[in-house]
Each structure stands twice: as structure tokens, then as C-alpha cells.
Chain A
Amino acid sequence: EVQLVQSGPEVKKPGESLTISCTASGFSFTKYWIGWVRQMPGKGLEWMGFIFPDDSDTRYSPSFQGQVTFSADKAISTAYLQWSSLTASDTAMYYCSRVLTGTSRGLIDYWGQGTLVIVSS
């Protein structure tokens, strides 16, 4: 069974750093992209970008380039989303996802349960 299990909710202050995680199981972690999607409170889904864990090739959506960092540890099938300095506008639910390669390349077929990040002074 394909599973993406994300780390728990976080409450941070502006200016703090943060790393959240997404641990995969039930499939070969190095054969798929892992994508990240933001959902701000009461809003829709926004594509942030993805990482290919086998070689850590990363692609960022222009809106998120320079704002976040993707990384992955293929030894433990875990992908990470990192901020170096949070702001209140980073308050959102963040979802990781499995993104297909090959046929249906780019399709999101599985989602993590989401990690809620709250940034407040």
C-alpha cells in the first residue's frame, strides 16, 4: 500500500526556521518525484514544485523559488520541505504527493495527510 506520512503540526514564530518531513512506503522512493503543495487557510491548492529523490534534482514553481528548499534522504525514503526564515504568510497546510514519471508523467496520484504550519508572534 502506497503511503506518504507527514510530520506533525508546527507552531513557530516569525523569523524561525523549520523543516517538515514526508516519509514514503509501499513503493520505490527513488523512481518517483515527490511534490509539495500549499493550501493557505480557506483557499485552494498551489503547486510548489518537486524533487527527484534519486539524484535530488529539484524544480521549484516560480512563486516559491528562493522561498523554500526541498531535500530528500533516499536511505530512509523521506523528503523534506525547509524554510530558513518563516513569515506569517507561510501559515498554511502543506501536502507532499507522489508524482508519476513515465506514462502520465507529472500526475499526482497519492497525497500525504498534510502538515499544518502556523506562524504567529
Chain B
Amino acid sequence: EIVLTQSPGTLSLSPGERATLSCRASQSLSSSNIAWHQQKPGQAPRLLIYGASSRATGIPDRFSGSGSGTDFTLTISRLEPEDSAVYYCQQYGSSRTFGQGTKVEIK
């Protein structure tokens, strides 16, 4: 099973700052089959990024994804208060697994 390790566990930043979230896979992911999902408190998750770097429909361009192989990054270029959430990476190349999540807090 491919294990995904996310860091940091919690990120506390001010509005307008840049957030950088990391996801490391235990094995190389061919075709960059990595997605990022956002889960706000009390809500279901929603897809943000797929294929490591493609934004899902309706996702603002301040969200971007990058990476390949075993190392992937989600960047939120200018944080807004509504970006307060837990962000999960998910691989879909070999079965499906999720990282443990990174909580983003807005000061």
C-alpha cells in the first residue's frame, strides 16, 4: 500500500500570506496520480487539484499544485479567511490512499 505523509500537521498564517503544503509518497507515483481535497469544518471534502497540478472546476487560481515522483506540493498563493480547512492529498495510482491531512488556520 502506498503511504502518503503530509507536512506540516498545522499551518497558522495571516490573510494574504502564502501557504505551502507538502505530501510525500512512499513509492513513486507514475502519471502523477495525486489529488488534493479541501475539507472545511462540518462539511464534506471537495476536490481542488488532480493530476498533481490541474485545478478542478470552479477552483480559484490562488490554489496550485506541483510535484512528481514522490514529492508533491499544494500552494495557496494568497490566503483568504475562507481557506481555513484541512487539506488532504490522495493518490489514485495504486488503489486509493489519503494522507493524514494538514490543517490550515487563518490568524
A45 CA to B39 CA, complexed, in Å: 10
Decide: B44 and A108 in contact? CB cutoff 8 A.
Answer: no
Provide the B31-48 mask, 1 if CB < 8 A to any CB of A, else 0. 001010101000011110
Which residues of A are found within 8 Å of B45, using beta-carbon distances? 45, 95, 111
Which residues of B are found within 8 Å of A111, using beta-carbon distances? 44-47
Which of the candidate stretches A9-17, A71-79, A83-91, A99-107 sits at the interface with the other chain? Answer: A99-107
Nearest opposing residue in chain A for B34, CB measure: A107
For chain A, the bracket of interface size reads: 20 to 34
Task: Give B46 Cβ to nearest chain A Cβ, in Å.
Answer: 6
Tell me whether A114 is interfacial, beta carbon within 8 Å: yes
In-complex Cβ contact of A106 among B1, B44, B46, B92 (8 A): B92
In-complex Cβ contact of B44 among A46, A61, A109, A112 (8 A): A112
In-complex Cβ contact of A44 among B56, B88, B92, B96 (8 A): B88
Decide: B96 and A106 in contact? CB cutoff 8 A.
Answer: yes
A74 CA to B100 CA, complexed, in Å: 33
Decide: A106 and B93 in contact? CB cutoff 8 A.
Answer: yes
A-B contact pairs, 23 of them (CB 8 A): A44-B86, A44-B88, A44-B98, A45-B88, A45-B101, A46-B98, A47-B95, A47-B97, A62-B1, A104-B33, A104-B50, A105-B92, A106-B95, A106-B96, A107-B33, A107-B47, A107-B50, A109-B47, A109-B50, A109-B56, A110-B47, A111-B47, A113-B44
A12 CA to B66 CA, complexed, in Å: 44
Task: Give A116 Cβ to nearest chain B Cβ, in Å.
Answer: 11
A113 CA to B51 CA, complexed, in Å: 24
Q: Which of B16-67 contact A (CB under 8 A)?
A: 33, 35, 37, 39, 44-47, 50-51, 56
Tell me whether A35 is interfacial, beta carbon within 8 Å: yes
Task: Give A14 Cβ to nearest chain B Cβ, in Å.
Answer: 27
A66 CA to B49 CA, complexed, in Å: 32
List 4 A-B pairs, minimum CB-CB distance, nearest first. Answer: A106-B92, A45-B98, A47-B96, A111-B44
Decide: A108 and B90 in contact? CB cutoff 8 A.
Answer: yes
